[in-house]
Amino acid sequence: MVKAFLRDYPTEARLLLVVLAIVLFLSLASDSFFTLVNFTSLLNNTAVNLIWAAGLLVVLIAGGIDISFAVAASVVQYVAVYVFEALGGGNWAIGFVVAGALGIALGFVNATLIHHFRIITIVVTIATFNAFFGLLMFFTSGRFLYNLPDWWVDRIIIFEHQTANGTWAELTLPVAVMVLCLAATWLLINRTTLGRQLYAFGDNPEGARRLGINIALMQFLAFGWMGMMAGIGGLMQVNIVQEVVPNALIGRELDVLAAVVLGGARLGGGRGSVLGCVLGVMIVALTQNGLNLMGVSPFAFKMVVGAIILIAISASNLSFARRVRPPVGGWK
């Protein structure tokens, strides 16, 4: 069992070791790290990134890349505010449907440009990143929205526990949603035929085409899924921060992208797993959390996180190069 895991998931196994090493180090370095209160708040704070990571994973597996999703999430938040108003306030059920549908629509914009105009994904999403953000700032004039429906901003606690010293450890709704999103993504990519087609398409697009895989469907599925996760992540983000700010999410796309790639998803397609993606995001989150607790300046965060990602990715590339030698006659 362990052996099979090590063979089939070498990247994940290594990341798991790194996570354990970080946890061990921080437990020794800081008193407040290895506590239930800290872990629950870590999960609450990482939930949105994990939801987005699940979406991005699907795009990466299909051989694409998306840097427009965080801005798309902001667009979803703004439009959703008006939709809820028009629907007389809305509720959670409407909230998920509206946010998901808006996200899917924005994802389909990307997919349409990619498939019908044959533009490569990074160029398309750089363009839509700018277009979405420009439109958002233009129409909102950068206005913050605080007057939001109560259901949206009320904290929903799904787990609570009072610790010995009287503080409360709580898990909130975004964590539950995050778990569902990850589970759904796992189901999609590992257990459904369309998910396996996504892998195949990302791995060898020409081979997939010749086999009769519906290429348009793949692009719309990947970017639609990403869009849905972007929308749901945006919905959850509002629940956490209780406001809608047009430029609050910009920049998050690169953090998530780096974490997902750290988790073993390959730029270029065909490889990546939900477990690796979770571990990648957690490594970054744990490091930030630990630096925070140890009183390191926030400006050092990005530097340290960047270094960790570089080290982790070069380490996994090195071992990859040793293990798999090019076949006779070179790679085809």
Q: Does 298 bind other proteins (CB under 8 A)?
A: no
Find where tokens 């778990």 sit. Answer: 179
| Min dist. Cβ of residue 282 to other proteins (A) | 24
Q: Does 215 bind other proteins (CB under 8 A)?
A: no
Cβ nearer to other proteins, comparing 32 with 317: 317
> 86, 164, 206, 299: which one contacts other proteins (CB under 8 A)?
206
Q: Does 2 bind other proteins (CB under 8 A)?
A: no
Which of these ranges, 23-31, 142-150, 184-192, 223-231, lies near other proteins under the rule CB under 8 A? 184-192
Q: Does 306 bind other proteins (CB under 8 A)?
A: no
Closest C-alpha among 249, 104, 209 to residue 112: 104
Which of these ranges, 71-79, 102-110, 171-179, 203-211, lies near other proteins under the rule CB under 8 A? 203-211
The CA distance from 214 to 80, in Å, is: 32
Q: Which residues on neighbouring strands pair with residue 145, listed in sequence order?
A: 244
Which of these ranges, 12-20, 149-157, 185-193, 237-245, lies near other proteins under the rule CB under 8 A? 185-193
Q: How many CB atoms lie within 10 A of CB 128?
A: 22
| Min dist. Cβ of residue 110 to other proteins (A) | 20
| Min dist. Cβ of residue 55 to other proteins (A) | 17
> 96, 196, 267, 304: which one contacts other proteins (CB under 8 A)?
196
Which of these ranges, 79-87, 113-121, 211-219, 245-253, lies near other proteins under the rule CB under 8 A? 211-219
State the DSSP string of 298-321.
HHHHHHHHHHHHHHHHHHHHHHHH
Burial (CB count <10 Å: 0-12, 13-18, 19+), residue 4: exposed
| Min dist. Cβ of residue 113 to other proteins (A) | 22
The CA distance from 303 to 296, in Å, is: 12
Task: Write b or e for each residue in 252-291: b if 16 or more Cβ atoms lie within 10 A of its Cβ, otherwise e.
Answer: bbebbbbbbbbbbbeeebbbbbbbbbbbbbbbbbbbbbbb
> 141, 147, 165, 193: which one contacts other proteins (CB under 8 A)?
193
Tokens of 84: 């809820």
| Single-letter residue type at 293 | L
Restricting to residues 71-110, name those near other proteins by CB under 8 A. none
Task: Write b or e for each residue in 17-49: b if 16 or more Cβ atoms lie within 10 A of its Cβ, otherwise e.
Answer: ebbeebbeebeeebeebebeebbbbbbbebbbb
Q: Does 166 bind other proteins (CB under 8 A)?
A: no
Q: DSSP character for 66? A: -
> 49, 125, 185, 197: which one contacts other proteins (CB under 8 A)?
197
By CB under 8 A, the count of residues binding other proteins is 31
The CA distance from 74 to 3, in Å, is: 44
Contact residues for other proteins (CB under 8 A)?
A: 8, 188, 190-197, 199-200, 203-204, 206-208, 210-214, 217, 270-271, 324, 327-330, 332
